[in-house]
Structure 1
Amino acid sequence: MIHFIKIYFWILVPLLLISGVDIPVDPYKTIQHKIEITHPGEKEAVTIILIQNIDENGLPISYYMDVQSVICLEKVCKIIPVRIFWNDIGEYQKYELEEGATLEKYEDAVFESQDYLKLQTILANVNSPFKDVFIDEILTVVDKHSDEDTDAVSGATALELDEKDTVPGAALTCFTLWHWANGDIVQKIKEITGESVSEQQLKVFLVDENQAYFKIALHDLERRKNYTTPFIKVITKRVLEEEILLKSTFAYIEKAPANIYFSATEEVFVKGKTAQKLAAIRSLKLINYKVSSSYLDRLSNQIPKLSSYQEVSFFLDVIQAKNPISKKVVENVLPLLKSDFITARRAYWFLKNQQLSATQKELLQNFEKENKSSL
């Protein structure tokens, strides 16, 4: 119920401003950030002032930015200042207009109360169709005499959108504001939030249930070149529980010093499930660090615990690339000849290129005789 009330409040804010109702000002300290961002409606990067609100502890709370309601290349549009608000991880929250200001649609029609509500919904939809729309599609004027229905949703443009995805007659305004609210600024906000907090707060971010905080923390730890053990322990523990974080985690630890990288990767490989093991293997295959034979020998002790053909095959690929001759690996691979046939066949072809003892050769030859027609 509380969540519903909060959402309803943010939807009503633009309407309250239009009607002249006073909105209390948040008592936060503000910091101005002059940054450059791109907007698909602009030919060049735009310099803007982003305002950051911080609380009494110096922690970022929210952000806002003043923008123009439309990008009007023909200079014939009515341009209204719009203030857009985000939370501390760049999620759009609301928009506000100056007192008495109104947004306009095609042919001087003004927004009605339901249009302001719909605009709030449009801007809050990160998967809006405006994400993949080009401004030229909106600025292309249709021939009114050819098909009156073509123009029904988007005003005087040839763009066809479902009516639920735009304010009829105001596609350009929706396009402009959606990209201000959901474009490059989102990543900029995340970066500023990460840069604004202490290392202690980054530790809090790493365990927050919202994965956006985890990624913000990783990004700024990388910027700070911080790969210390306390952080690595928290990160590996989290990624062992949530495989969706593997990509961002390895992007971070692959830039760590070699000893930290190898230690963290081994922990993920040994303790992880299939997704974690595969991510560790892929990283080891591509990493520029020299991977020692002793390290791969140690990892090969996990071969009996690999639960899928893909894990086995990928791991043997790494061995062939990084540690092609190893008695220890051979010892750990030989038992795979008794696994399911697909895995056993992969082990067979690996062992064919290894230096084997007489006993090991005999085991391989026996496997070959039993499965000759299927190899």
Structure 2
Amino acid sequence: MISKIQIIVFHSFILFAAFFLSKQNIGTKRDTIIKHDVAVLHPGIDNTKPIQQTLFEVEKSYGGARIFYAEVESVVCGSKVCKVIPMRIYWDALGRYTHYEIAKGFNLEKEEGEPFAKEDHNKLHQILKDRNSVLKEYYKEELVSKADNNAVDALSGATISIDPNAVVTGAVWTCYTLWHWANGSFVEKIRDITSKKSDTQLLLNYLTYGDKYYRELAIETFIKRKIYDDNTIKNVLKAANIESMLQPITLAYLEQSSAKNYYSNINSFFEFADEKFRVTILNSLYKTAFKAPEPFYDAFSEQLLMTNNYQEINLILDLFKLKKHKSSKVVNEVLKLLDHKEFLISRRAYWFLNNITLSNNQKTRVLQFQKKYKSKL
């Protein structure tokens, strides 16, 4: 006797075969299609065990942009009989989802067998484009109501309430399944393939002429290849200056270089970084195992007068204390803060100076401040 599972598997095979035949001509005859056997994770299938998939890379004729696609099933479900539709998910060379295709003559379904309308497909497309969708936060078991006593297994109960903007109504499992195909493990596989096919000059071109995502890929690849020559560092910092999104990976790039490269560039990086990220850079200076060259903190002390942010100034002074750097240059820069218009900052400078050895002139300046603000210290 043929089981239900055998019937479902057989029908899935027939649907995929039809899909393959209907999509044979993806481009011109001059396009080159390369198959990559990859192991990918899908939380709707298993959180820890990768599954084998084929990723197709299409090198377009006449130098057109490369694209990638994969044949996937539209939905992962448990003991409930689901209508599984063969689909193709498409990405660009950076692993960014671009669109999907469904086998001719088939359509996605919602609850009760209701077919997707045009507006449902439009909404699904927008959901798949959102790389920060709330769907990435859920395990498959969390999408099922625990109150459903009729549930046979983890995927059999009624789906829980979820942000209606994150799913097509009545198609939670389909949205969950396809979002993780479009934005999961395949993305890293694609980026890795593109990275390996890009030589150093092409990566530098990405930094200069590419959009922010191509620039990000270039910096990621420089880290992997340990490329830290002066010209590359200069171009990486220039890209980070233009696009704030690149500041975290640029800091990672400097952190994984060398003490010389790190300290030669961290000061200028700090100057153009946005206010929020300067705190991250200061934390990096706290944690780095690199030993700073003698002139570094003297030069860095000039940053004290370039900001009115108390948190930054407090962290810089804590950094000097941690590194036990209290040179005359540092002390003179901190002394200038005693005249700062923000009393919180001038008081912070006072307490820093009050705990170190000072010259007679410096002591006099600190005592003047103490006398003037005695009641507020």
Shift of 1:118: 4.2
The 3-state SS of whatever aligns with 2:70 is strand
Query: 1:317 maps to which residue?
Result: 318
Aligned residues: 350
The 3-state SS of whatever aligns with 2:284 is helix
Deviates more, 1:73-82 or 1:254-263: 73-82
Q: Distance in 1 between matches of 2:157 and 2:316?
A: 59
Shift of 1:109: 4.8
Shift of 1:128: 4.2
In 2 relative to 1, CA 162–337 (structure 1 residues): closer, same or farther, beyond 3 Å? closer
Shift of 1:112: 5.0
Query: Aligned-residue CA RMSD in angstroms?
Result: 3.3
1:211 matches 2:212: yes
Shift of 1:263: 1.0
Q: Distance in 2 between matches of 1:199 and 1:135?
A: 41
Picking from 103, 110, 124, the partner of 1:119 is: 124
Residues 37-63 of structure 1, C-alpha deviations (whole Å, 9 max, x = no match): 221111222221211223468886211
1:84 matches 2:89: yes
1:374 matches 2:376: yes
The 3-state SS of whatever aligns with 1:293 is coil
Contact 2:159 2:172 in 1 (8 A): no
The 3-state SS of whatever aligns with 1:178 is helix
Query: 1:360 maps to which residue?
Result: 362
The 3-state SS of whatever aligns with 1:160 is coil
Q: Distance in 1 between matches of 2:340 and 2:113?
A: 74
Contact 2:247 2:273 in 1 (8 A): no
When normalised by structure 1's length, the TM-score is 0.81
Picking from 33, 37, 40, the partner of 1:37 is: 40
Which residues of structure 1 form unaligned runs of 5+? 1-16, 146-154
Residues 341-365 of structure 1, C-alpha deviations (whole Å, 9 max, x = no match): 2221111111112111111111111
Query: 2:257 maps to which residue?
Result: 256
Deviates more, 1:267-276 or 1:284-293: 267-276
In 2 relative to 1, CA 75–299 (structure 1 residues): closer, same or farther, beyond 3 Å? same
1:50 matches 2:43: no
When normalised by structure 2's length, the TM-score is 0.80
In 2 relative to 1, CA 268–111 (structure 1 residues): closer, same or farther, beyond 3 Å? closer
The 3-state SS of whatever aligns with 1:45 is strand
Contact 2:108 2:116 in 1 (8 A): yes
1:234-253 maps to which residues of 2 (within 5 A)?
234-253=235-254
Residues 262-314 of structure 1, C-alpha deviations (whole Å, 9 max, x = no match): 11112223555645654443321221111233221222244333443333222
Q: Which amino acid aligns with 1:267?
A: S
Q: Distance in 2 between matches of 1:356 and 1:106?
A: 77
1:290-301 maps to which residues of 2 (within 5 A)?
290-301=291-302
1:135 matches 2:137: no
Q: Distance in 2 between matches of 1:233 and 1:292?
A: 20
Query: 2:286 maps to which residue?
Result: 285
In 2 relative to 1, CA 29–374 (structure 1 residues): closer, same or farther, beyond 3 Å? same
Contact 2:76 2:177 in 1 (8 A): yes
Contact 2:259 2:292 in 1 (8 A): no
Contact 1:33 1:51 in 2 (8 A): yes
Query: 1:28 maps to which residue?
Result: 31
Q: Which amino acid aligns with 1:291?
A: A
Amino-acid identity (%): 34
Q: Distance in 2 between matches of 1:347 and 1:21?
A: 70
Query: 1:194 maps to which residue?
Result: 195
Q: Which amino acid aligns with 1:42?
A: I
Residues 87-132 of structure 1, C-alpha deviations (whole Å, 9 max, x = no match): 1222211212233344344455544555444433433343445334
The 3-state SS of whatever aligns with 1:38 is strand
Q: Which amino acid aligns with 2:176?
A: F
Q: Which amino acid aligns with 2:35?
A: Q
In 2 relative to 1, CA 304–132 (structure 1 residues): closer, same or farther, beyond 3 Å? closer
Q: Distance in 1 between matches of 2:326 and 2:294?
A: 9
